[in-house]
Amino acid sequence: MKNYLFYNNFGCTKINFTFFFILLCTSFKGISQDYNQQLAKADEKFKAFAYIDARAIYLDVAQKGYSSPGLYQKLGDSFYLNGELETSVEWYEKLIQEYPENLDPEYLFKYAQGLKSSERYTEADKIMKQFYDSTGTDKRATSFINKRDYLSFIEIQSGRFELFTLAINSRNSEYAPSFNNQNQIVFASSRGKESKKSKLHGWNKMPFLDLYSADIKNDNINLTDPKKLKGKINTKFHESSTSFTADGQTVYFARNNYTNNKLGTSKKGVVLLKLYKATLKDGKWTNIIELPFSSDNYSVSHPSVSLDGKKLYFASDMPGTLGKSDLFVVDILPNGAYGVPKNLGENINTEGRETFPYISNSGELYFSSDGHVGLGGLDIFVSLPQESGFSKAFNVGKPINSPKDDFTFVINEETKIGYFASNRKGGKGNDDIYGIKQTKDLITSCKQYIKGIISNNETNESLPNVNITLLDIEGNKISKNTSNSLGEYEFEVKCSEEYLIRTSLDQFNPREVSLSTDDSFEFVNEISLPLTPLNSDNILLTSIEVNVGDDLSKTLKLEPIYFALNDSVITPKAEVELQKIISAMQKYPKLKIEVRSHTDSRSSYWYNKRLSVKRMRATVKYLVEEGGIYWRRIRGKAYGERRLLNKCIDDVPCTEEEHQENRRSEFIVWE
């Protein structure tokens, strides 16, 4: 498929940095000496990332009927690491079914990714649950468990971009587009002419990548025929993933470890990736400088410079990496110096691959990942800047993301035009660049909505021009609205918060309803509010002085609210009186009461205490659930037999009526 090592390090199936994988030794019992020699040769090719050559030998051995965990692992990896996730499924499936003992959980994750790439999401979710059970603390697993409805969210997020195919793509790979701030796009391509003398990368048997530019046409999307960048920036090895300063005169880019015409290798003899800087002089890129935090022994790649030129974001597997590759940021200091690279933290990085960062002009971070929950392969995510770093990541949805690898996203936030790369079906080459136009803002926080109709409770007619106030749990006003001609109203609210909705309209009793939102994205809370008209008999038409400590039942001249012996059930008669309490609290939204529950003296002290608790809770529950009174406006106390109203203490003979007088609830104003 693509140059997965470079792509992974550089861009193709993104920083897969496969060279970081621990390669398992393979043993094949009962195989002839000839086959052992072939397998030894295949293992050498595999270790050198020549996956296609190694695959041919492994396939031949497998077709002869031989098997082992190592054989299936390497066959699956030879497809997976070249971005052919669908084809990897066959071999990972054999591995898991035939050799379940001592299975490395990482192969469960890879298998699930392959299933997603085949759009077999139900099966993939089952394997991810198995992955979670095997690992427990792996962030990829916990993220899946916490976001079981991830496909629902992706559907909600989808449809916010239009997608355009581009003529610049070849039958090889094009990816890593970037704006050079000169009305051009610069990208990496392996479109060079192929011949018997051409140098091909052993990873995927494709030409090495060079950097090209193309002018942006007047439609702001399509591009002219590409041309190689001039100067010393392109070499016989891979170049990719560029990022330009605002003036277009400096570029940061990734390249194989090739400095001053000398190819460098790690201690294991592997050519890794480094970041370089170049400057534009007379239309040519010159003064190539290796960035000081690059290393022979780990890769750094995929740069993205901030608008002010003070910070550089990049991907790496340097020490301090949480997963296979992480995103980092480093300060760009005066006089060509740099600070110490900092890991972007657990909101961004997982045990998987995070790569291809792009920092927009507004400071939003776009990146690709297979560790966060997505559609398969690498998905593109967005994270917002915060004081402490970046917010949690949000999948950008379809059509940007697909079951395949999607990566190297860039966007002009003023024109809403951008580009990204993908190896999805229907493309011209292994990786293609697509144009995009954003048509709707992305969901970058958990929001919900409150909608409903306000109506006359007696006639069912909708009520326009009703004042509706949204308050927080402390009663502070958040926003205010008015119902429209159809009685409709709407508020936008945050997830996992508590709210009060308060209504006000002349000649109607006010209404207050409490609401606790959950963590469901874009959920609509339907809350209709029927209002009761005031009438001439309603005691609440008259202003009544109420002081802290008053018993509201006496102020409103309510019939006493009594309970049956040994019972905490709200009786129909009590409901009539409680509705009057509710009406008062709806009319006076700042009124807060304390429900006090009492018993008679019969039974033990502690039995009566427990019984009064039940009665208090039943009363409070009725006011909250039946009356829609916000629970923070009501508190309760249970006195048991401690505050009798008459002589009926233990061992004192009393009538049933005298005992009932003590089985009561009081409603004391406390604010």
Q: What is the CATH number of the domain that holds 524?
A: 2.60.40.10
- For residue 6, name the pLDDT band (cuts at 50, 70, 90): very low
Residue 515: phi and psi, rounded to 5, are -150, 135
Domain end call among 132, 148, 164: 148
Which tens digits make up the pLDDT trace of 268-308? 888 899 999 999 999 999 999 999 999 999 999 999 999 99
Which tens digits make up the pLDDT trace of 329-383? 999 999 889 999 999 999 999 999 999 999 999 999 999 999 999 999 999 999 9
Which tens digits make up the pLDDT trace of 485-523? 999 999 999 998 989 888 888 888 777 788 889 888 888
Q: Is there a single domain that holds both residue 115 and residue 11? A: yes
Q: Is there a single domain that holds both residue 558 and residue 492? A: no
Provide the 3-class DSSP secondary structure of residue 15. Answer: coil
Q: Is there a single domain that holds both residue 476 and residue 578? A: no
Q: pLDDT at position 27, please?
A: 36
Q: Is there a single domain that holds both residue 523 and residue 594? A: no
Q: List Cβ neighbours of 1 (8 Å cut-off, separation of 6 or more).
A: 12, 13, 82, 83, 84, 204, 423, 430, 431
Q: Is there a single domain that holds both residue 501 and residue 456? A: yes
Which tens digits make up the pLDDT trace of 166-185? 999 999 999 999 999 999 99
- CATH number for the domain harbouring residue 17: 1.25.40.10
Task: Identify the domain containing residue 481 by its residue range.
Answer: 447-531
Residue 247 lies in a domain: no
Q: Is there a single domain that holds both residue 517 and residue 549? A: no
Q: Retrieve residue 378's tokens.
A: 């690498």
Q: Is there a single domain that holds both residue 495 and residue 462? A: yes
DSSP class of residue 403 equals: S
Do residues 403 and 120 lie in contact, with contact meaning Cβ atoms separated by under 8 Å?
A: no
Alpha carbon of residue 329 to chain centroid: 21
Lowest mean per-residue pLDDT among 49-63, 188-202, 265-279: 188-202
Residue 494 lies in a domain: yes
Lowest mean per-residue pLDDT among 43-52, 418-427, 504-513, 530-539: 530-539
Tell me how many degrees the CA angle 575-576-581 measures, rounded to the nearest 5. 85
Residue 44 lies in a domain: yes
Say how far apart CA 449 and CA 470 lie, in whole Å.
12
> Would the pLDDT of 661 be above 90?
no
Residue 424 lies in a domain: no
Say how far apart CA 135 and CA 104 lie, in whole Å.
10
Tell me how many degrees the CA angle 222-225-229 measures, rounded to the nearest 5. 115
Q: Is there a single domain that holds both residue 490 and residue 603? A: no
Q: Is there a single domain that holds both residue 451 and residue 585? A: no
Q: Is there a single domain that holds both residue 463 and residue 599? A: no
**Beta-ladder partners of 259:** 262
Tell me which residue has tokens 């009124």: 591
Among 29, 27, 24, 44, CA closest to 107: 24
- CATH number for the domain harbouring residue 555: 3.30.1330.60
Residue 234 lies in a domain: no
Q: Is there a single domain that holds both residue 106 and residue 32? A: yes
Domain end call among 531, 548, 576: 531
Tell me how many degrees the CA angle 217-406-113 measures, rounded to the nearest 5. 170
Q: pLDDT at position 35, please?
A: 62
- For residue 544, name the pLDDT band (cuts at 50, 70, 90): low
Residue 283 lies in a domain: no
Q: Beta-strand (E) ranges in 552-625?
A: 593-598
511-516: strand order across its sheet: 477-482, 467-471, 498-504, 511-516
Into how many domains does the chain fold?
A: 3
Residue 378 lies in a domain: no
Domain end call among 531, 566, 586: 531
Q: Is there a single domain that holds both residue 50 and residue 141? A: yes
Q: pLDDT at position 565, please?
A: 66
Residue 293 lies in a domain: no
Which tens digits make up the pLDDT trace of 564-602? 667 778 877 777 778 788 878 877 888 888 888 888 888
pLDDT above 70 covers what percent of the chain? 90
3 state SS for 333-367: CHHHCECCCEECCCCCCCCCEEEEEEECCCCCEEE
